[in-house]
Amino acid sequence: MAWVGKMLSIAAAAAAALLGIAGLAQAQNPVPAAPAPVQTAPAEASPAQPNDPFGEEVMLTPKSIVFVRGTTTWDTAFDTLVDAFKSVYTALDAQGLKAVGSAMTIYTSTDDTGFQFQAAVPVAEEPKEALKGEVAFGKSPAGKAIKFIHRGSYDAMDTTYDAITNFLDEKKLEAKDLFVEQYLTDPLTTPEDKLVVEVYVPVK
């Protein structure tokens, strides 16, 4: 389960950027670089809400997605993911496709040097014309998964992922080398301590 913690910081950092890209892409404005928040104290996760799932077994249903598949090293991951989401939203605009649901990063494999991913946006319908370049159309992961919720700053997600790892170990659940993050709130418009991220860990 070490891969979960290692992928955390890159996934969390990219989330803030990609959601900003989504909103700005719809307005057809250039994407400014967002300054990193200054931490004056150790980050803490917000308290879970009574109805928050944490360790809830769910069945993922496949969604139609437009995505960019890529491979990156840990050192270049942030820039690679941001560029991938830029490509996805540019393709949606070019074809007049409507994004439905939350943007997601699908992490498909990892090793000591880097990881493979799909930067994906759910869409209402299949593209009418062939997508160009590296952009593709497909389906999101399906099957049994364990659902978790993170509330609070992305800097505090270490605590959440530690809890996820502990939960899977305690339940003796074997995770696939795959997980999905869905970003439910926009970090550019949501107070840092109010951010909400869904994490899905498919299990064998």
Contact 55/175 with Cβ under 8 angstroms?
no
Residues 142-196: tens digit of each pLDDT: 999 999 999 987 777 778 888 999 999 999 999 988 889 898 886 557 787 888 8
- Predicted local confidence at residue 11, as pLDDT: 58
CB count in 10 Å sphere of residue 3: 18
Residue 129 has pLDDT above 60, yes or no: yes
Between 21-25, 127-131, 139-143, 197-201, the lowest mean confidence (pLDDT) is in 21-25
- Predicted local confidence at residue 173, as pLDDT: 94
- Predicted local confidence at residue 16, as pLDDT: 53
Dist. CA 154–CA 137, nearest whole Å? 29
In angstroms, the Cα distances linking 111 to 7, 62, 201 are: 10, 26, 17
